């Protein structure tokens, strides 16, 4: 697969400080660009609509509605994201790229049908007090965003990071423009502009996929065949996405920490704002993660398994194995270091940032805790990624399932203990899962040659 690693290695080969800075900046933009663009886009819509959309509470309703669309569409498509990525990767390894597009169309058909069915049930029974237009826009938004995640994960699997970033830039640019143009129509106007922009984003991604993966067939469902379908990845995708949103849902639907916004949708002002600000600090850690994984680790990983397939010496394999271990340790250490520096910077400038944004300083302690959680999440993602490379699906399944369980238990405990403990549930859950992941990493790399040759 053509990867971002080629671009990063080209920059790093300059062997200069400028080249290294360019590589990390490029990785940060590629890895976190879509996330930042989407958040900034929604914020711009809110800020520029404050004087037009009256009452101002309608803007909150719009932002909360979009948040639920993102969360629920991610959780729904989590069932198929990783399983289809694995199907696509296997077909490329077999040099059968011609069947990728028909199966993408087949998956898109099922995701559209299922999200449409579930969304229809939701708008019929959960939003009886809202306008017909609002309900139809929520249905359309849910279907379109579910399809976007399928296209995004497909292009990510193909390492089309630039294409994803460019499409998100165009899509959210259109989202902002259309939402601002439709502001006079209040909540329905803002939501209509968002859905229209997301539809343009989806069309751009689909056109890119159609252009890069031509085929004689239009639709196929080979990905659902038993021998080509990995149930472990189905549950990993669900557990990971559900685990990331579980603590948010618990704060949203726990009455002392939330308030009703529109229909059945609730929000937690005490938790949502610090979480949002903390997630913006993920960019440096994601840049380190992407550079280390797509350059040094992938190079040693390829060398190891090429030696396995081509009959290389055991001494060479052990050397490559040791290099992989060293790269992983260095990568995790650098992620921890850079996220710690980022956290210290926010610690120092926290009051200034909150005052500038007009946010109460009461959010400061929770912001600090969420900064730790976000840093731990990058480390956890790095561990999962290594296990994916080693094809240790059962371990990833265990870790993500434990993440859901621990996040639910620890968050419930913090809600019971009171405001001083808010936010510690997610951090504790990630920390425990990371420690367990480290233990598995040590064991599996110690036995890598044995697993490679004896258990196949």
DSSP state of 261: E
pLDDT in tens, the chain (456 residues): 334 555 566 655 666 666 666 666 666 666 666 667 677 777 777 767 766 665 778 888 888 999 999 999 999 999 998 888 888 888 877 888 788 889 899 999 999 999 999 999 999 999 988 999 999 999 999 999 999 988 887 777 666 667 777 888 888 888 888 988 888 888 899 899 999 999 999 999 888 888 877 778 888 888 888 777 888 999 999 999 999 999 999 999 999 999 999 989 999 888 888 888 788 777 777 777 777 777 777 778 888 888 887 877 888 888 888 888 888 888 888 888 888 888 888 778 878 877 776 677 777 888 889 888 988 988 898 889 889 888 889 999 999 999 999 999 999 999 999 888 998 999 999 999 999 999 998 888 877 766 676 655
* Shared domain check, 282 and 223: no
Domain end: 194, 229, 264, which one?
Answer: 229
Residue 377 makes CB contacts below 8 A (sequence gap 6+) with 244, 282, 430
pLDDT score, position 386: 87
Are 333 and 417 in a shared domain? yes
Residue 455 has a pLDDT of 57
Q: Confirm if 93 and 305 have CB atoms less than 8 A apart.
A: no
Number of domains in the chain: 2
| Cβ 339 vs Cβ 284: under 8 Å | yes
* Domain identity same for 64 and 213: yes
Query: Encoding tokens for residue 391?
Result: 């094809």
Residue 258 lies in a domain: no
Both 32 and 163 in one domain: the answer is yes
Q: How far is CA 47 from CA 52, 245, 269, 280, 291, in A?
A: 10, 25, 17, 18, 35
In a domain, 245, yes or no: no
Q: What is the pTM of this model?
A: 0.86
Contact 209, 155 (CB under 8 A): yes
The residue range of the domain holding 372 is 276-451
Of 229, 251, 285, the residue at which a domain comes to its end is: 229
Domain shared by 59 and 175, yes or no: yes
Is position 179 within any domain? yes
Predicted pLDDT at 340: 83
Q: What's the DSSP call for residue 221?
A: -
Q: What pLDDT, on the 0 to 100 scale, is given for residue 197? A: 92
- Is 97 contained in some domain? yes
Q: How far apart are CA 387 and CA 441, in angstroms?
A: 8
Q: Which two tokens stand for residue 47?
A: 């800020």
Q: Based on the domain organization, do 288 and 195 belong to the same domain?
A: no
Question: Would you give the end-to-end CA distance of the chain in angstroms?
Answer: 24
**147 in a structural domain:** yes
Q: What per-residue confidence (pLDDT) applies to 318?
A: 83
Q: Is residue 407 part of a domain?
A: yes
What pLDDT, on a 0 to 100 scale, did the predictor assign at position 195? Answer: 93
Phi-psi region of 210 (alpha: psi -120 to 50; beta: other; left: phi over 0): alpha
Please check whether residues 195 and 327 belong to one and the same domain: no
Predicted pLDDT at 2: 38
Which pLDDT does position 416 carry in this prediction? 93
Residues 224 and 281 reside in one and the same domain: no
Residues 221 and 319 in one domain: no
* Residue indicated by tokens 């009455």: 255
432 and 298 in one domain? yes
The token pair at 148 is 């976007």
- Last residue within a domain, chosen from 213, 229, 245: 229
Q: Are residues 222 and 285 in the same domain?
A: no
Rounded to whole angstroms, how far apart are CA atoms 392 and 387? Answer: 5
Q: In this structure, are 138 and 287 located in the same domain?
A: no
Q: What is the pLDDT of residue 32?
A: 63
- The pLDDT of residue 289 is 74
pLDDT at 262: 92
Residue 266 in any domain: the answer is no
With respect to residue 264, please indicate whether it lies within any of the assigned structural domains. no
The secondary structure of 126-177 as a DSSP string is T-TTS-HHHHHHHHHHHHHHHHHHHHHHHHHHTT-HHHHHHHHHHHHHHHHH
Inter-CA distances, 96 with 106, 215, 217, 407, Å: 17, 10, 13, 41
Q: Are 189 and 179 in contact (CB under 8 A)?
A: yes
Rounded to whole angstroms, the Cα distance separating 343 from 354 reads 15
């Amino acid at each position: 697969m053509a990867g971002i690693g080629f671009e990063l290695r080209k920059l790093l080969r300059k062997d200069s400080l400028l080249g290294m800075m360019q590589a990390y900046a490029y990785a940060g933009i590629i890895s976190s660009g879509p996330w930042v663009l989407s958040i900034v886009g929604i914020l711009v819509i809110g800020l520029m609509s404050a004087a037009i959309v009256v009452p101002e509470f309608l803007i909150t309703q719009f932002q909360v509605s979009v948040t639920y669309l993102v969360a629920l569409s991610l959780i729904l498509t989590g069932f198929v994201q990783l399983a289809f990525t694995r199907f696509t990767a296997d077909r490329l390894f077999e040099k059968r790229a011609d069947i990728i597009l028909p199966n993408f169309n087949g998956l898109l058909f099922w995701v559209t049908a299922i999200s449409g069915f579930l969304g229809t049930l939701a708008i019929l029974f959960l939003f009886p007090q809202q306008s017909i237009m609002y309900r139809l826009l929520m249905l359309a938004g849910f279907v379109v965003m579910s399809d976007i995640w399928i296209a995004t994960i497909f292009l990510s699997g193909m390492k089309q990071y630039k294409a994803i970033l460019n499409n998100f830039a165009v899509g959210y640019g259109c989202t902002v423009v259309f939402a601002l143009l439709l502001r006079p129509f209040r909540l329905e106007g803002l939501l209509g502009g968002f859905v229209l922009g997301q539809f343009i984003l989806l069309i751009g991604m689909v056109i890119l996929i159609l252009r890069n993966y031509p085929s004689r067939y239009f639709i196929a469902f080979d990905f659902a065949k038993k021998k080509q379908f990995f149930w472990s990845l189905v549950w990993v995708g669900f557990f990971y996405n559900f685990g990331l949103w579980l603590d948010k849902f618990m704060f949203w639907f726990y009455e002392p920490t939330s308030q009703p916004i529109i229909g059945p949708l609730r929000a937690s002002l005490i938790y949502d704002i610090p979480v949002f600000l903390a997630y913006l600090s993920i960019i440096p850690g994601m840049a380190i993660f992407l550079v280390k994984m797509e350059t040094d680790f992938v190079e040693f990983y390829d060398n190891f398994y090429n030696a396995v397939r081509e009959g290389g010496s055991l001494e060479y394999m052990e050397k490559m194995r040791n290099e992989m271990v060293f790269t992983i340790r260095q990568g995790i250490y650098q992620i921890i270091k850079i996220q710690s520096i980022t956290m210290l910077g926010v610690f120092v400038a926290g009051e200034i940032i909150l005052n500038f944004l007009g946010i109460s300083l009461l959010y400061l302690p929770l912001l600090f805790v969420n900064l730790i959680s976000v840093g731990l999440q990058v480390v956890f993602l790095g561990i999962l990624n290594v296990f994916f490379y080693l094809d240790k699906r059962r371990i990833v399944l265990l870790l993500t399932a434990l993440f859901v369980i621990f996040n639910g238990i620890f968050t419930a405990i913090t809600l019971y203990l009171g405001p001083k403990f808010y936010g510690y549930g997610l951090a504790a859950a990630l920390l425990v899962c990371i420690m367990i992941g480290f233990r598995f990493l040590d064991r599996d790399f110690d036995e890598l040659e044995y697993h490679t040759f004896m258990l196949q």
